[in-house]
Chains A and B, each alone.
Chain A
Amino acid sequence: MTCPSEFELSMYAGGELPESDAHQIREHLSSCGTCRALAQALEEENRALVHAFQEIDVAGADADETAGSIVVSLGLLIVGGALAVRVVLDWISRLTLPSALEWVDPSQTTGQLNLLFNSIAYFILNGGEMLMSIIEEASLVALSALIIFGVIKILRRSIGTSVMLGVVVLMSVFESPSYALDVRRGTPQVTVRAEETIDDTLIAFGETINIEGVVNGDVVAFARRINVRGMVKGNVIGFAQHVEVSGNVEGDMIGFAQSVQAGGHIMKNVFGFGQTTSVSDGARVDGNVTLFAGEAAVDGTIARDLTAFGGRIDIRGNIGRNVESRSVGITLVAPARVGGDLTAHVRRAELARIADGATVAGKTDIRVEPPRPSRYTTFSFYIWQAIWLAGSFIVGFILFSIFPPLGKPDLESANALLKAGSIGFLATVATPIAAIIVGITMIGLPVALLTVAAWLVGLYLAKIVLASFVGRALLKSPDETDRVVALFVGLLLIYIAVNLPYIGGVINFLLTIIGFGALVAAVYQMLRWRSGPTTPQPAA
């Protein structure tokens, strides 16, 4: 007999040949080693396939894989988003808060919405240009979020890679759509020599980065030490232990470093975040200077405003317009000169010193504001948080016992997250408006009241629903006994997150809308589930 085809052997191996044919093949196999080996391999392959297919729990494997990482990305996105929102809010308040709106304290979470709306109203009346730049900033933030989301979704890279790629993409769009990117890496150093010109945005990584030549785009540098002695036509953004600019920068200088030193000539603004930041003697900044620093020193010339936060600030230079200090202490030493008003918020009068020879052309306003005791230092704060936590826990426990599906919101993909966020935002904003409209007619009033009540309940439950998801995801889809633990862990994390200093308020807002969205979606799903043609309702 001639050898059977592989096809026939395959059928044979799968036990799918009729007995007569199988018998023939068996006979052949006893005499033909090649075919026997092949048939054996095919049988093994079948077993391996069954094993492989059934071992891979597609749904499960995937859920475990993504749930944890989605919580991480959720956390990162929310913290990042909250930071961005806070920075923009601060920026708004810094640049534009007119004296008429001083009563709005930007450091108080409750004042922020007032501040936002009032500021917007102010812009619409007073400054189209400022409004434009705010829209630009906001769209940049939105753009970056979208890009990072997109990168996560499309490339399915890790969150770190995605954020990096997002930043790189963003930088390339940043004010200079035509620039290409020049990425340089070097150990120990990257140097742009004096005679060298780079036409692109330069992104540099290295121990020391020296820019002595000309960069026509932005410079984004990550290094231990960054020196800009040459000419940068875009912005300089440096993350380093030490950032020093002594050349010319035509854009903004933004430094995150242990020490930030702005020298030379900076034609736009300076933002310094660091242990020590300084505008050195002989330096000239044509825009505003904003410093967040333990110690700040201004010896050079600032054409516009100076705003300082942090420990202490010493001013010896020349400031064209106003000085606003929220530092612990402020000192003006001769020959300091302030062209506009000086406003200093201090806790004790003696912390603001204006030496003889220092001049302030406008008003000098030293506000002594005794420190509010930080809420984090009071005992009752923690007690109340614990009470709220326990309350949420009990509510969540009861809620999920009665309506289990609510405890399993679908947030496991970027899409679902985005969907929940938008639904939540709409529901948060639109519900009270709809209630007001309905409530205007007398007949609609009870409906409106009920709606508002449901809305308030929903807002309260939003974070509990989210907590259940976070807890489950972190504990890797636990079974029923762990449900309680998962809820508790999730709630604890969320309570910590919303009480973080500085960004807690914004985090609270973001978590609430996402949770609200997930809740609305889950309720909708539950109603759909129930409206099926059967009367008994499955416990999902």
Chain B
Amino acid sequence: MPTGFLVSLRMVVGLFFVVVSAEKLVHPYQNFLYVVQSYQVFPPFLEEVIARTIPWAEFFLGLFLVLGLWLGVVLRSFIILLAGFIIIVSQALIRQLPLDDCGCFGGLIKLPLWGTGMLDIGLLIFLIVLVRREKDTAAVSLDKLLPTNEKDQ
């Protein structure tokens, strides 16, 4: 796979997460809380924590992916995050939870539950490819331009 394609893929995936998470962040967090609650997995306290923190995590991870900053950590964090999303969506599908009603995913993307699962799997595959070709993925990145600490300057 050409390096240019991997860099572009990295930026597209990153931009996707930036846009989707920004949409959640500029709207009241209660909307995303409702989405989290709909999966009926977590206790109320944890639902609240997740609703307030996950959009920020997605946003910064996405932004750093676009910029090519801390790529090693970011790519692996995304893989863990997406694996978690896939597990949660899968259990909702198995339990046949009514998650396609009422604009539950009101926002930029409206997908049935199986569609969400497929999208998450697709993104996970992309990220695994990017991790396996990490050096080429980081070809155009801030990681290459900047020193990690002062002694490298």
**Chain A bound to chain B:** no
Task: Point out residues on B near A: beta carbons under 8 Å.
Answer: none
